[in-house]
Structure 1
Amino acid sequence: MAGFPLRREQGFTLVELLVVFAIMALVAGLVPLAYERMRDGSQYRDAVRTMFSQMRLARSLAISGGRDVSFVVDMGRRRYGLDGEPLKTLPESLLVRATVADREVASQGVMSIRFLPSGGATGGSVEILRAPGVGTRLRVDWLSGRTTQEALLP
């Protein structure tokens, strides 16, 4: 037996198993938080993108159709979209503020930006804010009807 080394049994020790389980528990605890942040970010980007495209669509329809088209934000019911069409719902995690004709619309009110066949608009802006106060302002120029997007920092 002198020429044969002792063979050690294969397997994991109790300490190694406890370390692996502790790491798995830590990861499992962090996954819901990461998922929630990712979901909130996705909802924010989707709301900004959809609202911006709805405003641009309203201007395009007004010019091509030769009639006024209104973009509406119902802050009380947390919905937005083109007047006369089904409105889209804002996620609960977002805060919306609106300004029309240099005055802020009340948090329960309805704001409307009317796009004219000439390409102009009544003007106004909509701010979409996330929880820490960071967000985006969508601004409609009254003269040209052009919609722009700018970042809002806390």
Structure 2
Amino acid sequence: MRRPAGFTLIEMLVVIVLIAVAAGLMATGIAQGLHASRERQAVREMVFALRQARSQAVLDNKPALLHFDLPGRWYGAPGQPRRSWPDTVQVRLVTARQLGSAVAFYPDGSSSGGHLLLTRGDRQWRIDIGWLTGDVRWMATP
């Protein structure tokens, strides 16, 4: 005797459960990707602000400072809006002691030098500021 063609209720429930599990895994992956994207964007914005301060010092022919408030999680140049970084990212600044938590750029293109270390979990980014040339470079560190 032949069985009628079609699916049983059990088979349909199994398919629905598999689709729900796949959708949940995909949502988690997308959320993690968005967090990583925000963190990389924060690094790029910090590099841009440093380069902009250097350019401003050269154009105005006077020193320019970029201040960092590490506990407050923001940075900015005088007279410009503050920028912040995600709460998940920890920032450490190493620069000239007399500047406190700031990086100085000078009219000849040089700077106070130093580096920023941004950390989130096992991910790290390092932004280097050359003292002689004022060049700003960043890289992800292993």
Matched, 1:150 2:133: no
CA–CA distance in structure 2, aligned partners of residues 33 and 138 of structure 1: 29
Is 1:121 the counterpart of 2:111 in the alignment? yes
Which residue number corresponds to residue 78 of structure 2?
83
Instruction: Kindly provide the amino acid, as one letter, of the partner of residue 121 in structure 2.
Output: A
Give unpaired runs (5+ residues) of structure 2.
Answer: none
Amino acid at match of 2:36: G
* Displacement after TM superposition at 1:8 (Å): 6.7
Describe how 1:3-152 pairs up with structure 2 within 5 A.
Answer: 9-101=4-96, 111-132=101-122, 134-152=123-141
Q: Is the radius of gyration larger for structure 1 or structure 2?
A: 1
Unaligned runs of 5+ in 1: 1-5, 104-109
Query: Quick check: which one's helix share is greater?
Result: 2
Aligned length: 141
Shift of 1:87: 0.9
The answer to whether the 8 A contact 1:126-1:137 is kept is yes
TM-score, with length taken from structure 2: 0.87
Q: Would you identify which runs of 4 or more consecutive aligned residues in structure 1 move more than 3 Å?
A: 6-11
Equivalence for 1:107:
none
Q: Residue 44 of structure 1 aligns to which amino acid in structure 2?
A: E
* RMSD of Structure 2 on Structure 1 (CA): 2.1
Q: Percent identity?
A: 34
- Length-normalised TM-score, structure 1: 0.81
Question: How many angstroms apart in 2 are the aligned matches of 1:17 and 1:151?
Answer: 47
**Deviation larger for 27-36 or 11-20:** 27-36
Q: Secondary structure at the match of 2:116?
A: strand
